[in-house]
């Protein structure tokens, strides 16, 4: 274990053991003290609705899933296709709980090949485009649990086009 240190707290080693997760998910090997980004955790209240949004509408892929009957929770790790280094961990607690929106969390952000096609696909899945891509560069949507997701056009902004150019903002983003 020489050269390893825990990113969260010592009991995280125990959590990795209980979840049968390799320690590489919890620690970064390095004597130089550099940190490595692992994932962003988002709590969800409806795992099926969340997977519909994140996978089917947004286009992320499920990498792995851990169900812990004793702890009564499910962890689902997602990433954009071909980018497994930047992961989102959906944490679903089996016992109902009310989640509130915290201002200490801003948003998830993804770069997309075509902002208009992405927003069109999301809209077809029933997702509200809270901040339409009027500028051909940026849009915001929200997950079923209210997590804000920023979509940014790869490279230069696309030329402005309808119906996006005339759309107003909807709700919070």
Angle CA 9–15–20, to nearest 5:
140
Q: Tokens for 61, please give them.
A: 């892929």
Residues forming the active site: 150
What DSSP character marks residue 171? S
Q: How far is 104 from 116, CA to CA, in rounded Å? A: 29
Angle CA 118–50–44, to nearest 5:
135
* CA 95 remoteness from chain centre: 22
């Amino acid at each position: 274990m020489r050269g390893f240190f825990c990113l969260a707290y010592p009991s995280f080693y125990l959590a990795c053991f209980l979840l049968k997760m390799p320690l590489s998910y919890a620690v970064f090997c390095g004597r130089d003290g550099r940190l490595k980004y692992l994932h962003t955790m988002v709590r969800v209240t409806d795992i099926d609705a969340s997977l519909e949004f994140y996978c089917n509408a947004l286009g992320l892929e499920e990498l792995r899933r851990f169900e812990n009957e004793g702890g009564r929770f499910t962890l689902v790790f997602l990433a954009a296709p071909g980018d497994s280094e930047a992961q989102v961990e959906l944490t679903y607690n089996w016992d109902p709980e009310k989640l509130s929106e915290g201002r200490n969390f801003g948003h998830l952000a993804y770069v997309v090949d075509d902002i208009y096609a992405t927003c069109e696909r999301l809209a077809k899945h029933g997702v509200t485009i809270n901040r339409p891509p009027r500028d051909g560069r940026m849009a915001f949507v929200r997950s079923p649990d209210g997590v804000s997701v920023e979509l940014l056009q790869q490279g230069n902004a696309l030329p402005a086009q309808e119906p996006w150019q005339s759309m107003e903002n909807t709700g919070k983003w």
